[in-house]
Structure 1
Amino acid sequence: MSAFRAILVGLFTALMATAWIGERVDGCAAQTSPTQSAKASPRKQGGDDKGVTISESRYTAGLVTGTPQSTEFAIAQEIATTLATGQETGPHGQTALRVLPIVGNGGVRNVIDVLTLAGADMAIAPVVLVARLQDARTLGDIRGKLVYITLLFGEEFHLIARPEIKTLADLAGKRINLGEEGSAGAVLGREVLNSLDVKFDETNLSLEAAFDEMRKGRLSATLLISAKPVTSLARYAQFNAVSFLPIPYSSALRRDYLPSTLRHEDYPSVLGVDESVDTIAIKAALFAYNWPSRNERYDLLESFVQTFFSRFAEFLGDDHHPRWREVNLAEPLPGWQRFRPADRWLQRQALRSAFDRFLEQHPANDRSDRETLFRDFLRWRERNKDK
């Protein structure tokens, strides 16, 4: 490496360190809420003022997810197993970072658990349900208690019906399972079917119980909201005659929902090669409790972000769920604050990328004065900030 390029690298490293320290100090100064004291005690104050002491290891981050049959639970398992590899272990086999998936219902309960439950640091949850909880103010203003780490992917509505049911109109007066009470299916499925003027008899069963009822002819359809393809659903459909009912993307749904399609490659045992079924979806995100910056749980989540973001490329391989390829770590979630260490990591990556591009366009032998080079870099960034 030339002396000039060594100076550049040293300068860039110093700049990054200065920015990091400044943001860290700002973050510490910003924690003024009485429910977010600077003490190391890992206690949560929920909407019901429930305070609980975490008994989990200080190296274990709890991740609340969906039911064991859901894609979201599989995603949490992939995070846990992937990040567990490549770490040095302590004298008793402990690792510096452990992610523990916690079974949830994929709905409002996931968010409430993060806000109130000991050991629940993060949750995969639908953005629209988090927004509903905020609007309802059941637990007060949760924007100060909850932050997001990254947006994830869409979660599709799978309306699975017995073979004699062909359209939504055929469900009139029939028994339909929307999932356990408080789940995304129970809350949003009821809303969607009512908006489409479907009159039905609602039940709230687990997915396995619903499939058993469908086999016996006592249930006409069940709703599952989960990111396609759902492995457990594909296995069930392989041995049972079922169909997917289309859900139209009506004007009444466009504020909170997205259009999506179930295809043959998603469920080859249900859909023919040229078959597809239109449905709707909601966006999911990885949320976290907004621990104070001098709390050991904050440090644990910072370690999680550093590890997860730095190793994110590993999740894009063929041995992981295909929906990982939709995730853009830098995509913002309007109206919500990103976890500060995640935002800082993304800013550093953007600055590193910008500086690399600058060096490509300004060879080392073009400049010898680092102050001049730095001023040139700042001017270059300003000119290219929209590119």
Structure 2
Amino acid sequence: MSICVAVRAGLLSALMAAAWAGVQPEEALARKQPSAARSEQAQTGQAHPAPRKQTDSGKDAATSASHFTIGLVTGSPQSTEFAVAQDIATTLSTGQETGPRGEMALRVLPMVGNGGSRNVQDVLTLANADMTIAPVVLVDRLRDAKTFGDIRNKLVYVAPMLPQDFHLIVRPEITSLADLAGKTINLGEEGSAGAVLGLEVLNALDVKFDAANLGLDAALDGMRKGQISAAVLLSAKPVEALARYAQFNAVRLLPIPMTAAMRRDYQPSTLRHEDYPTILGVDETVDTIAVKSALFAYNWPSRSDRYRLLELFVQTFFSRFSELLGDAHHPKWRELNLAEPLPGWKRFAPAERWLAQQAGRDKPDRSSQPRSTTGASPDRGAFDEFLRRREQDRKQER
């Protein structure tokens, strides 16, 4: 009896806190779930994704904070992936028509994550999380292991994103992988892509080490103090946080060899002076490995508001892609081909249609980037159509 009373008291406290904060009770309770999952993973001490396998129930969009906001879950604020999300958000926010009540037609909200399995879990469960940037190999393994149930029809991809490079950052006295034997190496936060894939890579290279699971800032500080000998960083090059740190602290970048077993999931990459001028000499290069990444989205029902909003995002993002190729944005945007397919995954249908239409308009050069049809966002008619179809669907539901 006392247990029931305690449970009721806890639920009452959560509902009262939700009311005080001005959110719906269902949303407040839903928000508690990821924290609980993180606590459970922290207690297990596992670097591999360790959430329980889940059933195939869909997620509810009723608690979405805004009918005009797309939630994009990305990496830590120090990562290139977060900078890329910011590029998308700021570019798409300019030059838009507003709705009948002054609302912005489309707002992209970057959401800080760890770049790993929890990002995928958030997209599968949180009403406000529509998309994530994640390494393809990691999402492939979550799908094949059915960590979150059968997600083959729950996730679709919008477009490939920047490859994520492995950076093995070491103290100056470390000159080879053999020097890392018995040393402490930071892999990144538990459950992050760096922690999961970094552990896999170092094990494949037969490096015997003690693992730490800290954020990048804390890991670099530990290296400065001599408490940590190396850190694995998985992020698209160049990583500004690493470049800034190297201006004032001596570090090295250690090569990561490509073994035969890695070729199925990884691709070769090279870190150059142009990427890290404060670490590498003019003619110095460091061979490493990289993984493909992609922009994954929740596969909302085709007549839902969230589906319509994702469709509007695709039209806006693809048509204004050329604006991301300028000097004000990350240089790796210029190497990205939005039309590149992602084997084993279905592309979001409106994205597939947009690319097919562009291919029909520009047949002489199919290998080129999807061209920008207008240098501005979709016209007011696209937004009006979005509102009209949403209202029509609501009337039919009543």
Q: TM-score range by the shorter chain?
A: 0.7 to 0.9
**Cα–Cα, structure 1 residues 299 and 187, in superposed 2: closer, same or farther, change >3 Å?**
same
**Partner of residue 103 from structure 1, selected from 90, 112, 121:** 112
State the partner residue of 1:166. Answer: 175
Deviates more, 1:219-228 or 1:346-355: 346-355
State the partner residue of 1:262. Answer: 271
CA contact (8 A) 2:170 2:251 kept: yes
Structure 2 unaligned regions, length at least 5 = 1-26, 31-52, 367-398
Q: 2: CA distance between counterparts of 1:297 and 1:93?
A: 20
Aligned-residue offset at 1:90: 3.9
State the partner residue of 1:155. Answer: 164
Q: 2: CA distance between counterparts of 1:83 and 1:286?
A: 16
Matched AA of 2:223:
M
Aligned-residue offset at 1:47: 2.8
Q: 2: CA distance between counterparts of 1:302 and 1:201?
A: 46
- 1:340-379 equivalences in 2 (<5 Å): 340-354=349-363
Q: 2: CA distance between counterparts of 1:203 and 1:252?
A: 25
Residues 247-283 of structure 1: per-residue CA shift (max 9 Å, x gap): 0011111110000000000000000001010000000
CA contact (8 A) 1:150 1:330 kept: yes
Percent sequence identity over aligned pairs: 72
Matched AA of 2:245:
Y
Matched AA of 2:54:
G
1:113 to 2:122 alignment:
yes
**Partner of residue 74 from structure 1, selected from 33, 58, 83:** 83
Aligned-residue offset at 1:56: 1.4
State the partner residue of 1:384. Answer: none
Matched AA of 2:303:
R
CA contact (8 A) 2:170 2:252 kept: yes
Aligned-residue offset at 1:54: 2.5
- 1:55-94 equivalences in 2 (<5 Å): 55-90=64-99, 93-94=102-103
CA contact (8 A) 1:47 1:138 kept: yes
**Partner of residue 340 from structure 2, selected from 324, 331, 348:** 331
Q: 2: CA distance between counterparts of 1:149 and 1:54?
A: 24
1:151 is paired with a residue whose SS is strand
State the partner residue of 1:246. Answer: 255
**Cα–Cα, structure 1 residues 356 and 165, in superposed 2: closer, same or farther, change >3 Å?**
closer
Matched AA of 1:47:
Q
2:130 is paired with a residue whose SS is strand
1:308 to 2:305 alignment:
no
**Cα–Cα, structure 1 residues 348 and 51, in superposed 2: closer, same or farther, change >3 Å?**
closer
1:47 to 2:57 alignment:
no
**Partner of residue 199 from structure 2, selected from 175, 185, 190:** 190
CA contact (8 A) 1:152 1:326 kept: no
Q: 2: CA distance between counterparts of 1:356 and 1:202?
A: 49
Q: 2: CA distance between counterparts of 1:293 and 1:92?
A: 26
Aligned-residue offset at 1:93: 4.3
Q: 2: CA distance between counterparts of 1:127 and 1:246?
A: 23
TM-score (norm 1): 0.78
**Cα–Cα, structure 1 residues 355 and 328, in superposed 2: closer, same or farther, change >3 Å?**
closer
Deviates more, 1:303-312 or 1:320-329: 320-329
**Cα–Cα, structure 1 residues 169 and 156, in superposed 2: closer, same or farther, change >3 Å?**
same
Aligned-residue offset at 1:110: 1.1
State the partner residue of 1:204. Answer: 213
Q: 1: CA distance between counterparts of 2:102 and 2:324?
A: 25
Aligned-residue offset at 1:91: 6.1
State the partner residue of 1:22. Answer: none
Structure 1 unaligned regions, length at least 5 = 1-41, 358-387
How many residues are treated as equivalent by the alignment?
A: 314
Q: CA RMSD in A?
A: 1.9
Residues 321-366 of structure 1: per-residue CA shift (max 9 Å, x gap): 0111111111000110000000000111111223999xxxxxxxxx
Q: 2: CA distance between counterparts of 1:233 and 1:196?
A: 24
Q: Which has the larger radius of gyration?
A: 1
Aligned-residue offset at 1:108: 1.1
**Partner of residue 134 from structure 2, selected from 112, 125, 131:** 125
**Cα–Cα, structure 1 residues 250 and 356, in superposed 2: closer, same or farther, change >3 Å?**
closer
State the partner residue of 1:318. Answer: 327
| Runs of 4+ with >3 A deviation | 48-53, 90-93, 354-357
1:156 is paired with a residue whose SS is strand
